[in-house]
Copies of this chain bind each other. A is one copy, B any other.
Amino acid sequence: MAPPLKIGIAGLGTVGAGVMRMLARRNDEIAARCGRAVEVVAVSARDRSRSRDCDLSSVRWAESPVALARDPGIDVFVELIGGSDGAAREAVAAALEAGKPVVTANKALLAHHGVALATLAEQNGAGIHFEAAVAGGIPIVKTLREALLGNRMARVSGILNGTCNYILTKMREEGLSFETCLAEAQQLGYAEADPSFDVDGFDTAHKLALLATLAFGVQPDPGAIHVEGIRSITLADLDAADELGYRVKLLGVAARAGDEVELRVHPTMVPKHWPIAQVSGVTNAVAVDGDAVALTLVGPGAGGDATASAVVGDLCDLAAARVSRPFGWPVARLRPAGKPAIQRHEGGYYIRLAAVDRPGTAAAIARHMAERNISLESIMQHRRGRPHGGDRADSAGGPAPVVLITYATTEEAVRRAIDAIEADGVITSPPQVIRIEKD
C-alpha cells in the first residue's frame, strides 16, 4: 500500500475537530478503499490550549496557517479558518503556490477569489476541493463536476441556507411571524446575533456563485447575483401560497436564459409537489435540471458532522488520486457571469396587494395588468386580510388583500403594472412580489 496521505488542518473548530475524529475512526476502511491512509500530521489554530474533543497528541503545531500551508511535511492543506480574506486566503494561496492540493469549506473565499485561486491551482498543478463549501453534507459539487457531465444544464436551484428554511418552515407550520421565528432560530443557535448574512440572502448567494460555476462555466462572482432575503415574507404570503398550491422557499437559482445565465436569490414560490418544496427545517436541498436528468438531493447543509463528511470525502478522492479541475473547467474557459438583469427575468409572479375595500378595486388592478399584457392565472380577494406582520393568532383584520398569480411575463412588466396600480391610490401598503419557479 502507498504511504499515507499527510494532511495539515488549519482551523480546529467544530468542523476541524470533527474531521480529526472521523479520520481516526474511519481510517482503516478509508485506507482499504482508497489504497492509502489519510493521516493528520500537523495543525494550526489560534488557541492551542483550548480543549478540543479530538486526539492531538501526535500532530505537530504550526506557527501559522501560512507556515502550515508551506510545511514540506504535508501533502494536502485543509483550510477550515473561514472568511474571504486574511489568513484563509493567504494560506490557501501559499499551499497552491507550493503545489499542494487544498481542501476547503470556505464558500466566501471561493465565491470572491475563485478565479484567482483556480488560476494559481492550474499553474501549480494542484487542485481545490470544496465539497464542504456548498450545501454541507450533500455531494452536489461532485455531482455537478463529475457525475452529470453528459447533461447540458438548464437550471440549478437550491435551498442553501438552513436558517432561512427553518424560519419559513416554522412560520408556516406554527403561524408565527418572521421576527418570532428568527428569535427562536437565534436561541437554538441556527442564526447569528446579526442574522443579516443568512436572512438577507448573502450566504445563499456565495453558494449559488459556486454552483453556477460548476453547472454553467461562469466565473464565481457574488456581484453577478440579484439578491433578496426573506425579511419581507409574511404569514399572509405563506397562507396564500398554501392555498394556491405552493410553498415559499428562499432559493438560489442559476438558470440558462438565452445565451446568458440568470443568477438570483430570492423568496420563491415552488409547486408543493416538487421534492424541494417538501424540504423543511434546517435541511438543505439542491434541484438540478439537465437536459437528460432532473435530480433533487436533500440533506444536511451545515453542522460539524455533515461538513466533516464532505471534507473527508474530498480527502478520500485525493488519497485515491481522483482529481478534477478546481471548478470542473479550465479556468480560461470560465466566462464572466455578467451583471444581474432581474428586469429581464421571465416567469410567473405572485403579487399581494393590500387594497382599499371598495367595489371595483380588483377590476382596476386586473385592468392595469392587462394593459401590460400580463395574463392572470388567478385573482383572489379575501374580504378580511391576514395581518401583514404579527403571528397568526393575532386576529386583527387588515385591509382586503388581493392576490394575483400571473402567467409567465417579465419583471419589468410586473413592476410597471404595480407602479400604475400604486398611482391609482387603491393600495394601502407596499405590494409584495414573489417570483414563481415552475417546470
Chain A residues in the interface with B (C-beta under 8 A) = 18, 22-23, 25-26, 29-30, 32-34, 131, 137-139, 142-143, 146-152, 273, 275, 278-280, 290-300, 305-306, 308-313, 316-317, 320-325, 328-330, 333
Q: A292 is contacted by which of B294, B298, B309 (Cβ under 8 Å)?
A: B309
In the complex, how many angstroms separate the beta carbon of A208 from the nearest chain B beta carbon?
Answer: 20
In the complex, how many angstroms separate the beta carbon of A214 from the nearest chain B beta carbon?
Answer: 10
Known: A298-B298, A320-B323. Contact between A147 and B313, CB under 8 A? yes
Chain B residue at minimal CB-CB distance from A150: B312
How far does the alpha carbon of A278 sit from the alpha carbon of B271 in the complex, in Å? Answer: 13
B147, A131: Cβ atoms closer than 8 Å: yes
A33, B306: Cβ atoms closer than 8 Å: no
How far does the alpha carbon of A348 sit from the alpha carbon of B321 in the complex, in Å? Answer: 44
A292, B306: Cβ atoms closer than 8 Å: yes
Known: A275-B278, A295-B297. Contact between A152 and B26, CB under 8 A? yes
Q: A149 is contacted by which of B34, B290, B295, B329 (Cβ under 8 Å)?
A: B34
Closest 9 CB pairs of A and B: A150-B312, A139-B147, A137-B293, A292-B305, A295-B299, A292-B309, A322-B322, A149-B316, A296-B298
A30 contacts which chain B residues (CB < 8 A)? 149-150
A305, B278: Cβ atoms closer than 8 Å: no
In the complex, how many angstroms separate the beta carbon of A238 from the nearest chain B beta carbon?
Answer: 18
In the complex, how many angstroms separate the beta carbon of A25 from the nearest chain B beta carbon?
Answer: 8
A150, B26: Cβ atoms closer than 8 Å: yes
Chain B residue at minimal CB-CB distance from A145: B33
In the complex, how many angstroms separate the beta carbon of A328 from the nearest chain B beta carbon?
Answer: 6
Q: Name 13 extra pairs, CB < 8 A, besides A137-B292, A150-B308, A275-B278.
A: A25-B152, A32-B329, A34-B149, A137-B295, A138-B295, A142-B142, A142-B147, A147-B310, A295-B298, A296-B299, A298-B298, A320-B324, A322-B322
B293, A305: Cβ atoms closer than 8 Å: yes
How far does the alpha carbon of A131 sit from the alpha carbon of B33 in the complex, in Å? Answer: 18
A152 contacts which chain B residues (CB < 8 A)? 25-26
A333, B22: Cβ atoms closer than 8 Å: no
B293, A33: Cβ atoms closer than 8 Å: no
A18 contacts which chain B residues (CB < 8 A)? 292
How far does the alpha carbon of A218 sit from the alpha carbon of B317 in the complex, in Å? Answer: 22
B322, A298: Cβ atoms closer than 8 Å: no
